Chains A and B, each alone.
Chain A
Amino acid sequence: MPAAEVGLQEQVHALYRDHHGWLRGWLRRRLGNAFDAADVAHDTYVRILRAGQVPEAHQSRQHLTQIANGLLIDLYRRRQIEATYLEAIAQLPPRLAPSEEARALAMEALAEIDAILHGLPPKVRAALLMHKLDGMSYRDIAARLGVSVSSVEKYMASALVACCQWHGAQAAAGGRA
């Protein structure tokens, strides 16, 4: 292990030792349950470790809460997607209801797609969903959105670029996605 990496490990270890209990408490007060709090606290430290930068000692808690707040937003979005999905399948007749495993996979897929599409301009997001979910042609999408057909092709490309970027960021963050 290179010296720099050893130094980083030690710094993160110190950050963990000094603030992990506090961070978990802070998250537990916000989330109201210890399990999610422990998960988010864990992910916060993983992010720091992967990012390879430990904040100055006097900024530790500020830095931790900043990252944890970002993860809380992700969790909030994810829970919303899951709730929407569960509501949608609750309306299916019992014989069509997906298995536990299929549910887990679908929620995982939806959360990932949402995370990728989140933050894209509304027209880009809409164009991709119209094409993939409604099977609309570029021409029809162009007419619906009031843009040129070549813009629709550019929208598709930028949605797909966002997908690559998201995977790149996940790999860099070592996230659980």
Chain B
Amino acid sequence: MSAAAVSRRAAQWMARLWSDDASEADRQACARWRAAHPDHERAWQQLQAFEGRLLSVPADIARHALREPAGQGRQKRRRVLQALGVAFTASGVAWVAGRSPAWQHVVADMRTATGEIRELTLPDGSRVVLSSATAIDVRFDARERRLVLRAGEILVQTAPQAGVAHRPFRVQVEQGVVEALGTRFAVRHGETATRVAVFEHAVEVRPAGLQGDRVRLQAGQGADLRFDGVGDMAAAPPALAAWRDGILVADGMRLDTFVAELARFRPGLLSCDEAVAHLRVSGIFSLRDTDRALHNLARALPVRLAWRTRYWVVVRPA
């Protein structure tokens, strides 16, 4: 038996014995298999050691570190990035409505320039980070807290509600509505579909074209909200929100996707030759200095940068 086959068999045995209906016969058969060859026993020991390590950390702490996708809190991310030496530029902007009696009725339009990332504190204490080239309208009244996303991408951290009156927090896009259920999530505007990614707790998405239809997304999940439904469920790792700190975390990302991400933060044209579109990129890249990111890309992959002008760059085969 090859090493891979032995591992597979050991894994199957352990999965069998963990099951609710594992029988005495299963246990005996597994013991016989382990005794049949030293390699079998070695593979088994390796899995037992893994299980032991998994159980060695108190469950609630392990759950926190492993399940809640890592690196959620703002402070924590900041610490992580500082530990990695990624420079930080604070861009908090205080909200002007303050404590006046009219604070509940706020109507405002905010936008960011290409390459700009800006954080706002909303009148209720919720925070919203606007990505590059993003436009939102803030519509708060006595019944609800509503943001209208016109372009770009936002990351929302809702504040717990004080007082009795529950005012739902909603993000409206062309294709429907995203409602926060006490949470941290990102919404990215798109022509035909809006990408929703949940990092903490849950949100409910409601396509505009389907009356009464709703889908709940939990932490770590993402999906495309379309006019006529919700599709393309996918994982939402915390790295998806790393733009908030001005970095792009690529973990085996396709080059064409990578270039499209970078292009969102860069004035002018940035495109990728089809011949290299399939290459995979890994690394941490600056979104605040896209020239440097491109320069580092050309170091890491067999590509070169064709500069037509300062504002027109094509990534080509080297």
- A contacts, CB < 8 Å to B: 26, 30-33, 36, 59, 61-62, 65-66, 69-70, 72-73, 75-77, 79-81, 83-85, 87-89, 105-106, 109-110, 112-114, 116-117, 122, 126, 129, 131-134, 137-139, 149, 153-154, 156-161, 163-165, 167-168
Contacts and interface: CB of A to CB of B under 8 A. Distances in A.
Given A73-B283, A161-B8, A84 B68 contact: yes
Given A30-B284, A109-B57, A163-B50, A88 B80 contact: no
Contacts of A137: 20
B249 A76 contact: yes
Interface string B4-28: 0001101110111011100000000
B239 to A, nearest CB: 8
Contact of A110 (B10, B12, B62): B62
A31 B84 contact: yes
A76 B250 CA distance: 11
10 contacts: A31-B85, A69-B282, A72-B284, A73-B251, A112-B53, A122-B235, A132-B55, A153-B15, A156-B18, A160-B14
B51 A132 contact: yes
Nearest to B75: A87
Contacts, number: 168
B47 interface: yes
Interface residues of B, number: 60
Contact of B3 (A31, A88, A168): A168
Q: Closest 3 CB pairs between A and B?
A: A32-B85, A69-B283, A160-B11
A134 B64 CA distance: 12
Given A84-B70, A160-B50, A138 B300 contact: no
Contact of A66 (B76, B249, B301): B301
Contacts of A156: 11, 14-15, 18-19
A116 B80 contact: no
Nearest to B86: A32
Contacts of B62: 110, 113, 133
A62 B301 contact: yes
Contacts of A88: 60-61, 64-65
B66 A153 contact: no
Given A61-B299, A112-B53, A164-B43, A117 B85 contact: no
Given A106-B56, A138-B19, A84 B71 contact: yes
Nearest to A130: B67
A7 to B, nearest CB: 25
Given A80-B238, A84-B76, A88-B61, A163 B47 contact: yes
Given A80-B80, A113-B54, A134 B70 contact: no
B34 to A, nearest CB: 15
Given A75-B84, A80-B238, A106-B57, A154 B249 contact: no
Interface in B48-101: 50-51, 53-57, 59-68, 70-73, 75-76, 79-80, 83-87
Contact of B76 (A32, A61, A87, A105): A87
B20 A77 contact: no
Contacts of B246: none
A116 B54 CA distance: 11
B300 A65 contact: yes
B12 A157 contact: yes
B64 A84 contact: yes
A73 B284 contact: yes
A114 B70 contact: yes
